Amino acid sequence: MKGAEIRKKFLEFFASKDHDVYPSASLVPVDDPSLLWINAGMAPLKPFFDGRKVPPNPRIASSQKCIRTNDIENVGKTARHQTFFEMLGNFSIGDYFKKEAIDWAWEFLTEHMGLDPERLSVTIHPEDDEAYELWHRRIGVPAHRIFRMEDNFWEIGEGPSGPCSEIFYDRGEDRGCGRPECNVGCECDRFLEIWNLVFTQFNHNPDGTYTPLPKKNIDTGMGLERMASVMQDVDSNFDTDLFRPIIEAAAEAAGVQYGRKTQWDVALKVIADHIRTAVFAVGDGVLPGNEGRSYVIRRLLRRAVRYGRNLGFDRPFLYRLVPVVGEVMGEAYPEIVEKGDFIVRAVKAEEERFLETLAEGEQVLEDYIEKVRSAGRTTLAGEDAFRLYDTFGFPIDLTKEIANEQGIDVDEEGFAQALEAQRERARAARQDVESMQSKRGVLVDLEAPSRFVGYDVLETQTRVE
């Protein structure tokens, strides 16, 4: 079953249960300074959940575009994480509660998706006996496939909060780590989390106590790409029809083959993921730039360019994938096709700019290496690696890669010290740095922990894992 069909069936199913189907909101949050990106189906519906607005119908379903940069390190490594994904969700604003949410999730998965009930497990909060009874007695999930987990509680500081229940699908022994204790919660992706049902039933009071809410809400989220990987019985989200054409196009352009070499595969997955994110972000009006959301997109694109280098790309290539994303996703999201030319231009310009900087930096690095050699040494000074980073945005990995190719080491400790010294200076002169929006930092690698922490904090605030 194709991704588009899953999306359609999900929305039709909940429409048949009297839900209003909402189109996806923009990735850019409206009136919500606590969020950088929309990162869950519930996020654009917050005014309904906290009572600021009343929806015409308390039952809502959607397929929502989401961005989660806090998952970036997982992209290409796990089978299940992207920075951009679609979340299918059904929501009840003070209307139905646990019983219906559980009944319908089960009905959709087993009857409409045809999943084998034997392969489904669920987690619940340790104190949520109500959910246990529903899963066990009403639905018939055997006790050994119901897991009580402390983490299954959703809250964002004070305000509405509650337990959640997650549904996992067993993808089979051959997709697992093989350890005897492997089960739900194992790091290998054999047991794949597909759907999270949040039961918002308490108010978290300022004094730390919890009291029942007069009107309880339901907020659920199912990852479309994960569901597609299950329905298509493939190894990862990247092997579904939602990704394969993008991966194939990138592989063909690079002259490599997908599924041959882990290093290539990781690069292809990262590229396919990041270009999707960029296409949708630019489509929603976020251009690469130096601040906030724009900065995230700049860094994602530059990260993709760097992975592209591992595949041998030394000229702009990402922009050529934009129409492929349009082919895969354009029917559901016409905006990315309508704005296709604009997106192509934005992506290409960013690639060109970054490649220029990289080329300049490489020239400088060659000079450094030459000096190291003629002095009869084998290690590039940390200071020099730092200068490359500071002026040309060369992540340390890239410097190491190029130096190592020529038999030269890099003094990483010296680099770290120079970086720390710079941070100290920056702290001392915070105002100057802020007003300058200096080039420094703009090109900093996405892995650099210094700036992403803040976004992660923002992002994870809306949902508990």
Return phi, psi of residue 436, to 5°. Answer: -80, -25
Helix (H, G, I), strand (E, B) or coil at 75: coil
Question: Which residue, 49 or 85, has its beta carbon nearer to ligand ATP?
Answer: 85
Give dist(CA 362, CA 377) in Å, integer.
20
82 binds ligand ATP (CB under 6 A): yes
Give dist(CA 400, CA 197) in Å, integer.
45
CA nearest neighbour of 286 among 329, 343, 332, 246: 343
Tokens standing for residue 338: 């309508």
Q: Taking CB under 6 A as the criterion, which residues in 32-71 touch ligand ATP?
A: 68, 71
Q: Taking CB under 5 A as the criterion, which residues in 342-401 touch Mg ion?
A: none
- Select from Mg ion, ligand ATP, none the partner in contact with residue 145, using the beta carbon and a kind-dependent cut-off of 5 to 8 Å: none
79 binds ligand ATP (CB under 6 A): no
Q: Hey, which residues does 165 pair with through a beta bridge?
A: 197
Closest distance of CB 241 from ligand ATP, Å: 15
Question: Which residue, 44 or 382, has its beta carbon nearer to ligand ATP?
Answer: 44
- Choose which of 59, 81, 299, 303 interacts with ligand ATP (CB under 6 A): 81
Tokens standing for residue 28: 């850019």
Q: Taking CB under 6 A as the criterion, which residues in 165-204 touch ligand ATP?
A: 193-196
Question: Which residue, 447 or 465, has its beta carbon nearer to Mg ion?
Answer: 465
Give dist(CA 186, CA 347) in Å, integer.
38
222 binds ligand ATP (CB under 6 A): yes
226 binds ligand ATP (CB under 6 A): yes
Question: Which residue, 129 or 465, has its beta carbon nearer to Mg ion?
Answer: 465
Contact 144, 94 (CB under 8 A): no
19 binds ligand ATP (CB under 6 A): no
463 binds ligand ATP (CB under 6 A): yes
Closest distance of CB 221 from Mg ion, Å: 7
Give dist(CA 385, CA 330) in Å, integer.
43
Largest CA distance in the chain: 77
80 binds ligand ATP (CB under 6 A): yes
Tokens standing for residue 348: 């290409």
Closest distance of CB 68 from ligand ATP, Å: 5
Indicate the residue whose CB is closest to ligand ATP.
223
The mark string for 342-381 relative to ligand ATP (x by CB under 6 A, - otherwise) is ----------------------------------------
Helix (H, G, I), strand (E, B) or coil at 167: strand
The mark string for 177-196 relative to Mg ion (x by CB under 5 A, - otherwise) is ----------------x--x
Closest distance of CB 409 from Mg ion, Å: 37
Q: What is the DSSP letter of 214?
A: E
Closest distance of CB 124 from ligand ATP, Å: 14
Give dist(CA 74, CA 446) in Å, integer.
13
39 binds Mg ion (CB under 5 A): no
Question: Which residue, 195 or 394, has its beta carbon nearer to ligand ATP?
Answer: 195
The region that residue 114 occupies, defined by phi over 0 for left and psi between -120 and 50 for alpha, beta otherwise, is left
Give dist(CA 306, CA 202) in Å, integer.
46
465 binds Mg ion (CB under 5 A): yes
Give dist(CA 462, CA 465) in Å, integer.
10
Provide the total of helices (H) and of strands (E) in the chain, helices listed first: 16, 11
Closest distance of CB 197 from Mg ion, Å: 9
Helix (H, G, I), strand (E, B) or coil at 29: coil
- Select from ligand ATP, Mg ion, none the partner in contact with residue 288, using the beta carbon and a kind-dependent cut-off of 5 to 8 Å: none
Give dist(CA 390, CA 415) in Å, integer.
11
Applying CB under 6 A, the residues found at the interface with ligand ATP are 68, 71, 80-82, 85, 87, 193-196, 221-223, 225-226, 463, 465
Applying CB under 5 A, the residues found at the interface with Mg ion are 193, 196, 465
